[in-house]
Amino acid sequence: MTRSGLHPAEVAGIILASVAPTPVEHVPLMAALGAVLAHEIVAPLSVPPWRSASMDGYAVRASDIGSVPCRLRVTGETPAGADRAAPLGPEEAVKIMTGAPVPEGADTVIRIEDTEPGTESVDIHRDRDRGRNVRPLGEDFRAGVVLLPARSRITPAAIGVLASAGISSVAIHRPPTVSLVASGDELVRIDGFQQVLDGKRIVSSNSYSLPAMVRDAGGLPRDGGITVDDPVALRNAIDGAMACDILITSGGVSVGERDFTRTVMADMGADIKFWRARIRPGGPIVFATLDGRPWIGLPGNPVSALVTFELFVRPAILRMLGATHVFPPTFPVTIDEPVAVSGDLTHYLRAIVTTTANGMHARLTGTQSSAALTSMMRANALLIVPEGRKEYDAGTRLRAIPLGTVPARSDTFPA
Ligand code: AMP
Ligand code: MG
Instruction: Tell me whether residue 271 is exposed, middle or buried, using C-beta atoms within 10 angstroms of its C-beta: 0 to 12, 13 to 18, 19 or more.
Output: middle
Choice from 213, 301, 369 to test ligand 1 binding pocket (greatest atom count within 8 A of CB)? 301
pLDDT for res 333 = 97
Say yes or no to pLDDT of 410 above 80. no
pLDDT for res 405 = 67
Q: Is the dihedral of CA 371, 374, 377, 379 positive or negative?
A: negative
Choice from 180, 183, 187 to test ligand 1 binding pocket (greatest atom count within 8 A of CB)? 187
Tens of pLDDT, residue by residue over 357-373, are 889 999 999 999 999 99
Q: Taking residues 118-140, what's their average pLDDT? A: 96
250 lines ligand 1 (CB under 6 A): yes
Atom 9 of ligand 1: nearest residue by CA position: 301
Q: Categorise residue 109: left if φ over 0, alpha if ψ from -120 to 50, beta otherwise.
A: beta
- Model confidence at 414, pLDDT cuts 50, 70, 90, reads confident
115 lines ligand 1 (CB under 6 A): no
- Model confidence at 267, pLDDT cuts 50, 70, 90, reads very high
pLDDT for res 415 = 76
- Percent helix, strand, coil in the chain, to 5, is 20, 35, 45
Q: Taking residues 169-175, what's their average pLDDT? A: 97
Q: Taking residues 278-290, what's their average pLDDT? A: 97
Q: Taking residues 134-143, what's their average pLDDT? A: 97
Q: Taking residues 68-74, what's their average pLDDT? A: 97
252 lines ligand 1 (CB under 6 A): yes
- Model confidence at 327, pLDDT cuts 50, 70, 90, reads very high
Q: Give the ligand with the smallest distance to the CA of 305.
A: 1
pLDDT for res 187 = 98
85 lines ligand 1 (CB under 6 A): no
- Model confidence at 24, pLDDT cuts 50, 70, 90, reads very high
- Coil, helix or strand at residue 213: helix
Q: Taking residues 55-72, what's their average pLDDT? A: 96
Tens of pLDDT, residue by residue over 25-34, are 999 999 999 9
- Residue 191 CB coordination number (10 Å): 7
Cα gap 144→160, rounded to integer Å:
18
Q: Could you tell me the distance, in angstroms and rounded to a whole number, from the CA of residue 214 to the centre of ligand 2?
A: 22
- Model confidence at 200, pLDDT cuts 50, 70, 90, reads very high
pLDDT for res 2 = 59
- Coil, helix or strand at residue 48: coil
Contact present, 270 and 242 (Cβ < 8 Å): no
Atom 3 of ligand 1: nearest residue by CA position: 251
Say yes or no to pLDDT of 411 above 90. no
Say yes or no to pLDDT of 1 above 70. no
pTM passes above 0.75 = yes
Looking from the CA of residue 226, the nearest atom of ligand 1 is: 19
pLDDT for res 404 = 79
Look at 1 and 190; give whichever has higher pLDDT: 190
Say yes or no to pLDDT of 120 above 70. yes
- Residue 57 CB coordination number (10 Å): 25
Instruction: Tell me the average pLDDT of the chain.
Output: 95
Cα gap 169→155, rounded to integer Å:
14
Q: Could you tell me the distance, in angstroms and rounded to a whole number, from the CA of residue 399 to the centre of ligand 1?
A: 29
Q: Could you tell me the distance, in angstroms and rounded to a whole number, from the CA of residue 314 to the centre of ligand 2?
A: 23
Say yes or no to pLDDT of 386 above 60. yes
Q: Taking residues 179-192, what's their average pLDDT? A: 98
Q: Could you tell me the distance, in angstroms and rounded to a whole number, from the CA of residue 138 to the centre of ligand 1?
A: 58
Contact present, 202 and 186 (Cβ < 8 Å): yes
Share of the chain above pLDDT 70, in %: 98
Say yes or no to pLDDT of 288 above 90. yes
